[in-house]
Structure 1
Amino acid sequence: MSAGEALFRPVRAGNAFEETVERLLQAVRLGVVGAGERLPAERELAERLGISRVTLREAIRALADAGYVESRRGRYGGTFVTEHLPDPPAPDRARTAVALEDTLALRHVLETGAAELAAARSLSPADRQHLSRTLGEACAASVADYRRRDSRLHLAIAEVTGSASLTSALADVRMRANALLDEIPLLEPNLDHSNAQHEAIVDAILAGDPPAARAAMAEHVEGTASLLRGFLQ
């Protein structure tokens, strides 16, 4: 299997946009598609990745906004890797692969566990209101305020578990995750997707369905992990 075949294999349905961004970034960073070279045609690439052309276009637009690719029109048009890629994170801010994976692993365990535990509890009216309010604030947040509102919702989920230790641990890992997220661009399609996933998580918690809450949170954090790996590795 060639590098192109390996990278442009079908993505998972749950986080199609995020995984598509990750795959395209990997192809660019590894030189599978070199500077100035054209990506496979849209129809072909969408078929190989197993995604809709709408999702592919959103991913390409996000990478164009971040300076990795550019679209050209005309007979010889298409999507091309830019001649000069954005600079990588500065050495004093760069995260090693080990540090990144450590943060992502810890976050997965804590966040999925918190969602599962929250759904297993008999929540008070105040708890339910707290979750609904912070969910609404996250969904309505501007791009500039999104990171704060997103973090507040995730902390609210930990808070309604009733475990102060879990809440403290989750706050620590959110700080680590946010430091990584601050190094990559905010992609609006990802924010829309995250909001839909947030709603699924909170709905499962409020419905008292621990397996569904855990699964929804796992899908959510895996989407974020895909973007971080794509941009930072």
Structure 2
Amino acid sequence: MESSVVSANEALFRPVRAGNAFEETVERLLQAVRLGVVGAGERLPSERELAERLGVSRVTLREAIRALADAGYVVSRRGRYGGTFVSDVLPDPAERVTGEIDGTELEDALCLRYVLENGAAEAAAARTLSPADRQHLTGTLAEAEAAGLADYRRRDSRLHLAIAEVTASGSLTTAVADARTRVNQLLDRIPLLEPNLGHSNVQHQAIVDAILAGDPAAARQAMAEHVEGTASLLRAFLA
């Protein structure tokens, strides 16, 4: 049975607005890389496919790819098996983080995430999931649990996107991806705490178990506890 998942790949590689085509193309590609939609060492879709899906010229796309290559996020290879690949090791975001965080901006990002991700967990649990949907959740959960410190944030983000994907709502998946990007920009400003990662993995398991069991209330509660824990750390370090 085929999955009814609306993929994050589809949600992120959607047409950009004409007025800021270059900037939005960079943003979409960077989202796909930093949220783990295209993993380390994996190949991006072809230039032709990306240009068509993003609704930009190949010239604009190449300029965006070149900018990301210069920043260390992707590498381009020639030849029969060439293309654009995500770098095996991404730049350290902590080296680029500057400036103060406004308290209103912080609370706005946390409120949006709370509403979207709690709702996504509840909606996912309310659906009758296909075997492929269930495998998608358990697979991304296993990858998050196995991730080391260097790759944890991307694997964590990928799991949260998978939960949105199995709701079969493209609009929700897009909104969660955008909200998660904002939260990750905040998380990049605080240290990764190993005890917290272990706690997060336990919470992830509870969320996925509730979704797979078809228990919307439990899924929403488990997600709420998880996002509240992250919010507490962000407020402690940034507020």
1:30-179 superposed matches below 5 A: 92-179=98-185
- State how far apart, in whole Å, the 1-side matches of 2:113 and 2:138 are: 22
Matched with 1:219 is: 225
1:167-190 per-position Cα deviation (integer Å, ceiling 9, x unaligned): 000000000000000000000000
- State how far apart, in whole Å, the 2-side matches of 1:186 and 1:93 are: 19
The answer to whether the aligner puts 1:231 opposite 2:205 as a matched pair is: no
Per-residue deviation, 1:94: 1.8
Deviating above 3 A after TM superposition, structure 1's stretches of 4 or more consecutive aligned residues are none
1:51-107 per-position Cα deviation (integer Å, ceiling 9, x unaligned): xxxxxxxxxxxxxxxxxxxxxxxxxxxxxxxxxxxxxxx995321000000000000
Kept in 1: contact 2:161–2:173 (CA 8 A): yes
1:179-194 superposed matches below 5 A: 179-194=185-200
Paired letter, 1:118: A
- State how far apart, in whole Å, the 2-side matches of 1:127 and 1:225 are: 28
**Identity of counterpart residues, as a percentage?**
74
- State how far apart, in whole Å, the 2-side matches of 1:137 and 1:145 are: 10
Paired letter, 1:185: P
Paired letter, 2:168: G
Matched with 2:83 is: none
> CA 1:132 to 1:93, structure 2 compared with 1: closer, same or farther past 3 Å?
same
Determine which of 204, 216, 231 is the counterpart of 2:210. Answer: 204
- State how far apart, in whole Å, the 1-side matches of 2:190 and 2:176 are: 21
1:181-228 per-position Cα deviation (integer Å, ceiling 9, x unaligned): 000000000000000000000000000000000000000000000000
| TM-score, normalised with respect to structure 2 | 0.59
> CA 1:130 to 1:91, structure 2 compared with 1: closer, same or farther past 3 Å?
closer
Q: Runs of 5+ in structure 2 lacking a partner?
A: 1-95
Paired letter, 2:231: A
> CA 1:91 to 1:171, structure 2 compared with 1: closer, same or farther past 3 Å?
closer
Count, aligned residues: 145
Kept in 1: contact 2:97–2:189 (CA 8 A): no
> CA 1:185 to 1:91, structure 2 compared with 1: closer, same or farther past 3 Å?
closer
Matched with 1:50 is: none
> CA 1:98 to 1:115, structure 2 compared with 1: closer, same or farther past 3 Å?
same
- State how far apart, in whole Å, the 2-side matches of 1:200 and 1:93 are: 36
Q: Secondary structure at the match of 2:176?
A: helix
Q: Runs of 5+ in structure 1 lacking a partner?
A: 1-89
- State how far apart, in whole Å, the 2-side matches of 1:232 and 1:192 are: 22
Matched with 2:48 is: none
Give the CA RMSD over aligned residues. 1.5
- State how far apart, in whole Å, the 2-side matches of 1:91 and 1:211 are: 37
- State how far apart, in whole Å, the 2-side matches of 1:110 and 1:173 are: 8
Paired letter, 1:128: R
In terms of Rg, which structure is larger? 1
